[in-house]
Amino acid sequence: MSAKILSGKEMAAELELQQTARCVELNKNGIHPCLTVILVGDDPASAIYVRNKERACGRIGIESRTVRMPAETTQAELIAQIDALNADNSVHGILIQLPLPKHLDEAAALMRVRAEKDVDGFHVYNSGRLLQNNPTVLPCTPRGILYMLKKSGVQLDGANAVVVGRSNIVGKPAALLLLRENCTVTICHSHTRDLADITRRADVLVAAVGRAKFITADMVKPGATVIDVGINRVDGKLCGDVDFDGVSEIAAAISPVPGGVGPMTVAMLMENTLEAACKASR
186 binds ligand NDP (CB under 6 A): no
Interface pick for ligand NDP out of 191, 193, 237, 282 (rule CB under 6 A): 191
Nearer to ligand NDP, 81 or 241 (CB): 241
66 binds ligand NDP (CB under 6 A): no
CB of 106 to ligand NDP, least distance (A): 12
Q: Is 118 a catalytic residue?
A: no
189 binds ligand NDP (CB under 6 A): yes
Residues whose CB falls within 8 Å of the CB of residue 226, separated by 6 or more in sequence, listed in order: 3, 205, 207, 215, 220, 242, 247, 251, 253, 254, 255
Q: Is 97 a catalytic residue?
A: yes
170 binds ligand NDP (CB under 6 A): yes
Q: Which of 8, 7, 1 is nearest to 263 (CA)?
A: 8
CB of 44 to ligand NDP, least distance (A): 14
CB of 231 to ligand NDP, least distance (A): 4
Q: Which of residues 198-237 bind ligand NDP (CB under 6 A)?
A: 208-211, 229-232
Q: Which of 86, 88, 87 is nearest to 96 (CA)?
A: 86
Do 258 and 229 meet the contact criterion of CB atoms below 8 Å apart?
A: no
Q: Which of these is catalytic: 19, 117, 118, 120?
A: 120
CB of 228 to ligand NDP, least distance (A): 8
52 binds ligand NDP (CB under 6 A): no
Q: Which of these is catalytic: 53, 117, 172, 213?
A: 53
166 binds ligand NDP (CB under 6 A): yes
Residues 134-153, mask of contacts with ligand NDP (x by CB under 6 A):
-------x------------
**Region binding ligand NDP by CB under 6 A among candidate stretches 9-17, 52-60, 159-167, 271-279:** 159-167
CB of 25 to ligand NDP, least distance (A): 28
Q: Is 172 a catalytic residue?
A: no
**Region binding ligand NDP by CB under 6 A among candidate stretches 10-18, 30-38, 104-112, 188-196:** 188-196
261 binds ligand NDP (CB under 6 A): yes
Number of residues that bind ligand NDP (CB under 6 A): 25
Q: Rounded to whole angstroms, how far apart are CA atoms 275 and 282?
A: 11
Q: Which residues bind ligand NDP (CB under 6 A)?
A: 141, 164-167, 169-171, 188-192, 195, 208-211, 229-232, 261-262, 265
Query: Where in the sequence numbering do the catalytic residues fall?
Result: 53, 97, 120
